[in-house]
Amino acid sequence: MKYALLFAVLLFSAAPAAAEETARALPVPALDVPAAGTRQTAVLAGGCFWGMQGAFQHVKGVKQVTAGYSGGSAGTAHYETVGTGTTGHAEAVEIVFDPHEIGYGRLLQVYFSLMDPTTRDYQSPDDGPQYRSEIFAADAAQQRAAAAYIAQLERAHAFAAPIVTRVSLLHGFYAAEAYHQDYLIRHPDQPYIAVYDLPKIAKLQRLYPDLYRAEPVSLALR
């Protein structure tokens, strides 16, 4: 992620247009997780957590989004260590949502629309297993819903290549360092954010206007 900043300015004019050209609305999941209580949690990894956090902060029904790490141990859940690609961690976001306002399935619909699920260990412009796409299911119901939705997307030929996004049970989520939280909100003019992450929010608004809200949920305001 940090190395990509060196190239972001050069790509500034072309990248947003390319992102919009590949945007597509995906079908609503046929299988969802039953709504229970007023708070449920989803943990999703799909490239740099700055953009994933920033985009899901604009989704109606989402109450909090935290950037962090999942897939490895607590002892290695540190940015510089995760960046070596040897810890088992992926950069991920923990999404707290009201299931009566938005279902887990709709979050998956947004998730698959914001990243490329056909590339293993790569989300443009970042390369390495820490940038892989992986769904960390909180329980068996989420695991079934995620697997069913991937199968549904494959049957619909939603993507030109096979989906390689992993689905695994969550064994821990570790919040990232404070300076990573609300990064997009605090640094909207940073070249990396402008090139690769703001187009995700524009895509969300265009594809799913019923889910989009203009004012993001900020950790700093809680």
Whole-structure pTM value: 0.90
Is 111 part of the annotated catalytic residue set? no
- pLDDT in 10s for each residue of the chain, 222 residues: 444 443 444 344 344 433 333 457 899 999 999 998 899 999 999 999 999 999 999 999 999 999 999 999 999 999 999 999 999 999 999 999 999 999 999 999 999 999 999 999 999 999 999 999 999 999 999 999 999 999 999 999 999 999 999 999 999 999 999 999 999 999 999 999 999 999 999 999 999 999 999 999 997 654
What is the residue type of 18?
A: A
Tell the residue number behind the tokens 């953009």, with chain if given.
51
Catalytic residue of the set 48, 65, 82, 207 = 48
Residue 219 is predicted with a pLDDT of 77
Going by C-beta distance under 8 Å and a sequence separation of 6 or more, which residues neighbour residue 183?
50, 53, 54, 67, 193
What confidence score (pLDDT) does residue 170 get? Answer: 97
Which regions of the chain does DSSP assign to beta strands (E)? 40-46, 62-70, 90-97, 122-123, 126-127, 133-137, 166-169, 173-175
- CATH classification of 5-26+40-211, choosing from 3.20.20.370, 3.20.20.70, 3.30.70.260, 3.30.1060.10? 3.30.1060.10
Q: What is the pLDDT of residue 220?
A: 64
Contacts of 96 (CB under 8 A, 6+ apart): 39, 40, 41, 62, 63, 64, 65
Residue 69 is predicted with a pLDDT of 98
What are the extents of the domains in the chain? 5-26+40-211
